[in-house]
Amino acid sequence: MSASSERPLVVVLAAGQGTRMRSPVPKVLQPLCGRPMLAWVLDQARSLDPERVALVLSPGGEAILEGLEAAGERTGAGEELTVVTQPEARGTGHAVQCCVDVLRDRPNAPVVVLYGDMPALSEATLERLVAARPAGGLSLLTAVPPDPMAFGRIVRDGEGRVVRIVEERDATPDERAIREVNAGVYCLEAGLLVDCLARLDDDNAQGELYLTDVVADVASRGLGVAALVADDHREVQGVNTLAQLAHARDIVQERVHEVHLAAGVRIEDPSTTTIDYGVTIGRGTTIFPCTVIRRGVAVGEGCEVGPFTHLRVGTALRDGAQVGNFTETKNATLGEGAKAKHLTYLGDVTVGARSNIGAGTIVANYDGTHKHTTTIGERAFVGSGSVLVAPSEVGAGSLTGAGAVVPRGTVIPPGEVWVGVPARRLRARD
């Protein structure tokens, strides 16, 4: 096996139109655990510490970069990322041919080919693939899925050596019976790849330039081809439909959960829990079933979240805060030990430490045109069924009675009891 002293080049093929998605959103921008699918693949590329990443897009690909940036993802444009346009869809081989100007300047650098619709590929598998490359040869990723349909088959000789890949449409019945399939992920030196690309032809069922033909070319030269079989065949599943996107999400979500579990977060039922990429959760926190935590949320230590809770972007729970059954938050900060346990909406609000938000409370933050903020001080008690119309303020240690409606612009001073519709001062709080 060979280890190059040069940093690798990575080619990411992302020019597919994704028509089978039946969605106005471009395929590689489909959301997956809180970020565009392509962002997961660019992370795969960056995990290899590449000298450069060539991202192959179809014409109009600037919309893909804009979509990544709008989602808060760094593109690296002008740094490690080079955008390459594939002017017409002539196959994977042609897509990589479009990157020749990036590749030819560093002929001895290893090149790794990835796909913008393969988000579940793990960094560990990629590292093994690079390490498996024979000196002067090629390594490729394969898998043995339960159903090999639509994948290219790995053809080996009598001694078990990979000699070529045959696409499904070009395969004979015997070749279709082969269970080992090609994932399309390769590693080989740039100079060898450029030379092989120049020899591709379109004599096949689809009339396209197949990147898979590079494998047969390398094998025929006796340069060595090493096949690495993925431990989990699900890693190599491409995403072409919304059903496949859902399957990929299962894998990625499982990995997100594993990170939090290893950090000391108790997730009572991972199968019913959604936690997006980029969420921070402190140790000792418990996430109860049927909870959704979206990107842009920070949860402290020793908190309780759920069941049936939805934490949306901008939510921050300080240590010991508790948010429970059928409670939704957005742009909400709950101080240490604050509680909102039942049937509550908290939007654009700051809740002070040790305050209690009663069941059925609504913070009415939207007037139909603009969002407004509400402040609830420390140790406040908001009675069940209260409606706080923003902007408004509930002072520290104050209390609203059950069913109180606090009008817009109201400031409840610290330590007072307010009741009624509209709410009025009743007395000082005991």
Q: Are 116 and 13 in contact (CB under 8 A)?
A: yes
β-strand partners of 357: 340, 382
Residue 74: its pLDDT value, please? 79
Residue 204: its pLDDT value, please? 83
Q: Are 42 and 57 in contact (CB under 8 A)?
A: no
Clarify whether 370 is annotated catalytic.
Answer: no
Residues (pLDDT < 70) of the chain are 1-4, 76-79
Q: C-alpha dihedral over 108, 152, 114, 26, to 10 degrees? A: 150
Q: 68: part of which helix (H) or strand (E)?
A: helix 62-70
The per-residue pLDDT for range 116-167, each reduced to its tens digit, is: 999 999 999 999 999 999 999 999 999 999 988 888 999 999 889 999 999 8
Measured N-to-C along each axis, helices 242-262 and 37-46 cross at an angle, to the nearest 10 degrees, of 50
Residue 227: its pLDDT value, please? 96
pTM above 0.85, yes or no: yes
One-letter identity of residue 377:
G
Q: Which of 94, 310, 342, 372 is catalytic?
A: 342
Please report the DSSP string for 230-278 in residue order: PSSGGGG----SHHHHHHHHHHHHHHHHHHHHHTT-EES-GGG-EE-TT
The per-residue pLDDT for range 232-246, each reduced to its tens digit, is: 999 999 999 999 999
Complete domains list, the chain, with CATH: 9-236 (3.90.550.10), 263-428 (2.160.10.10)
Instruction: Identify the three-state secondary structure at position 113.
Output: strand
